[in-house]
Each structure stands twice: as structure tokens, then as C-alpha cells.
Amino acid sequence: MYDRPWHDVVNFYSNLVNGRFTLSTLFGTETCIEYDSKTEEVSDEKEERGGRWERVTFRIIVSYNGGAFDGWQKQPGLNTVQEMVERSLGRFVDEKKAQLLKEKSKPLEGCAVVAGRTDKGVSAIRQVCSFYTWRKDVKPCDIEDSVNSMAPGKLRVVSVSEVSRVFHPNFSAKWRRYLYIFPLNDQDFQKESCENEEEEHLSTDGNYNDPRSGSVKNNGRENGDNLIISNNDGLEAANKPTCFSVCRVNQLLRQLEGKLLSYKMFARDTKASRNMGPPTECFMYRARAAEARIPYSDHKEGRKVMCVELVANRFLRKMVRVLVATSIREAAAGAEEDALLKLMEATCRRATAPPAPPDGLCLVDVGYTDFDAQNCLIL
């Protein structure tokens, strides 16, 4: 059972998936990031070729509500986005592959390659995957109808297009954009100056579970400055910071922009020190935080939230959620602006905070051309 604030965030993402809201709803403006079809399309030479070049490749952009699935990656006994998409693509595989699957007693499914696997509870607005077939009679509209029929209201196709046979959703991508929405207490806050801008100290209106038995919760103080980020360890916890500034979170995150850094201390479920495997360096194009509002039924002005926008060439496992949680913790502690940079040099991942809840995270889009700094959610 979700706390009320996270439930509002999940509902907002659900409305985004179903097209009832747009991201411009967050900031109360008519303008928002643009999805230029020209920058996404990959041209294809119309030449007669043999072998693997005869196959037809489709790029499928899907939107899904993370709360309805157990993540992207197919897993036995779980309801995943990949399973839904690949089952819907089964009707478009060629006869040779269909016969091979039958001989191996495997279900008739297509193979979908994705730009980035999302965890359980994480939503996506424009997740990119690809599918290829040797059949020449498959049309984009057929694929769209088939995928849309799998989980109406939870999984929706944004677009389907034929692309170059060399297109790869993951390896061809130049950047990914994530958005994290963190619910705040809309009733109590105090204002201070922050480089000639308004700075608000706000608290959450509910709890989220911390893997180390910690929590972010409202402690009932009358002044409302009560964002607690700590383990429940008695008197020691009572002495830890209880509120944070959205403006301060923004200052901490901006120090990451334009730098190639190793984020291994901000990753989870991967080895912190390894000589093999993918590198841990990521180039952060954009890292910003700002206050916004999401619509919810009990308040005409909407629920007050903190939005974090992160754009990088790649992300490690749970990296965004750890960055958000750590930024809030450091802002509450009054850390210096280079606090996150100093944590890059840590030798133990306990130096960074446990991941923030997956409910607030959303993969916004994936780019296949150079990143445009003017095309952002948070300026």
C-alpha cells in the first residue's frame, strides 16, 4: 500500500503514459522538451543486399507505467514489460524462426532489444526498443496495434518506424534523460535567500522504506521542518538534519555537469571494484533540481514536489536513485557544493545514501544525436 504522496506521483506517471498529461504540466508552462522526429530517425540505404541485410528492423518507442510491471527484463513468473512486448511481436516472426521455436518447445515470441532496462516500479515515457524480421509484409501500424492490445492503460506505443539495419537502441544512443519526482509537504515551509532566489525547506508527507531501516517521514513537529533522513537508531538519529533545501540540492547536482566521472560509489548491484565489465565513468550533460507541482484530487493547485532532471551518456544500476537520495541527505546536512564530487573518491558505497524509492523515477527519452542543452525540462 503506497503512502499518499508516492501514490500521487505514480498516478501522475500513469496519466503521462496514457496521454492525459504532458511534462509541461509539472512546471505550469506551455513549452516543454521537444521530441524531434528528424533527430531520432536513422536513414537507411535502399539497396538490394543479401544475408542479414535482408531483414527489416523496426524501432518501437513505448511508454509504460512502472507500478504495473516488475521491471523491463523478462524473468520467470514475473509480469515484465519485455515479456509483454515480445509476446506481442510473436505474430511477426518469420517462418524459419517460428519453426525453430516450435522444435525447442519455446513460446512464439519476437526478440526486443532495449535502450536501457528499468527496475520494478520505474516508469518510462519514451523507452526505445528494436525488433527485426525477415518478413516483408509487416507494417508499423500492425506492430503498434499488437503491442497496444497487451496491457491497455499500462503499456502504450508512442511510435513505430522502420530504421537502418545497423540501428541498436543501446549502442547507438548518445544520451539518456531521467526524471525523478520527490513529493514534498505542501503545508509547512520556510523561505530563505539563496543567491537571490527563493529557497524552501520542505518536508515529505509520508514514508519510504530504507534498506538500512531508515526512513524519510513527517515527525509531526509544528514548524514543519521535519524531513528526517537517518537510521532509526535512537538519540543519534534525533541529532541528524531534519530538512533540506531544493535550491541546495540543485547546487550540489550542478557540480556534476560537463564532467566525466566514475559513479561506482553511486551504483548498486554491481561490483564497486572490477577489472572486467563495462566502465563506471559517465558524462553528465545535465543535472538540475527544481520545485514543481503535480495535479492531485485534494488540492486544486496540485501537490508540491521536487523534480530532478539527469541527462548522461550512460547510467549505472540504481545510479539515479542513489544520486537523488544522497543529494537530499547532503543538502540537509548543509554540505559544501562539491560534496558529491568528494564522494566520488570514497572507498565504500556506504558513503552514499540508500536508493530513493523507484516510484519517483521515470525514463523520459533516449537521444541518438548530440545533446542540446537548450532542450531541457529544468533550465
Pick from 293, 307, 353, 69: nearest CA to 179: 307
Look-up: residue for cell 538534519? 241
Q: Virtual CA dihedral for 275, 280, 283, 284, nearest 10 degrees?
A: -170
Whether the CB-CB separation of 99 and 137 falls below 8 Å is answered with: no
- Separation CA 55–CA 166 (nearest Å): 11
CA distances from 367 to 42, 174, 232, 323, 363 (A): 12, 6, 42, 22, 12
Residue type, 6: W
Whether the CB-CB separation of 330 and 340 falls below 8 Å is answered with: yes
Chain Cα centroid distance, residue 251: 21
Reduced to 3 states (helix: H, G, I; strand: E, B; else coil), residue 363 is strand
- Separation CA 327–CA 289 (nearest Å): 10
Cell triple for residue 15?
Answer: 496519466
| Burial class (CB within 10 angstroms; exposed 0-12, middle 13-18, buried 19+) of 102 | exposed
Residues comprising the chain, all counted: 379
Helix residue ranges, H only, the chain: 4-17, 24-27, 37-40, 81-89, 95-103, 140-148, 235-238, 246-254, 319-332, 339-343
Strands in 116-169 per DSSP E: 123-133, 155-163
Report helix, strand and coil shares of the chain as percent, to nearest 5.
Answer: 25, 25, 45
**Catalytic residues, which ones?**
119
Residue type, 315: F
Reduced to 3 states (helix: H, G, I; strand: E, B; else coil), residue 4 is helix
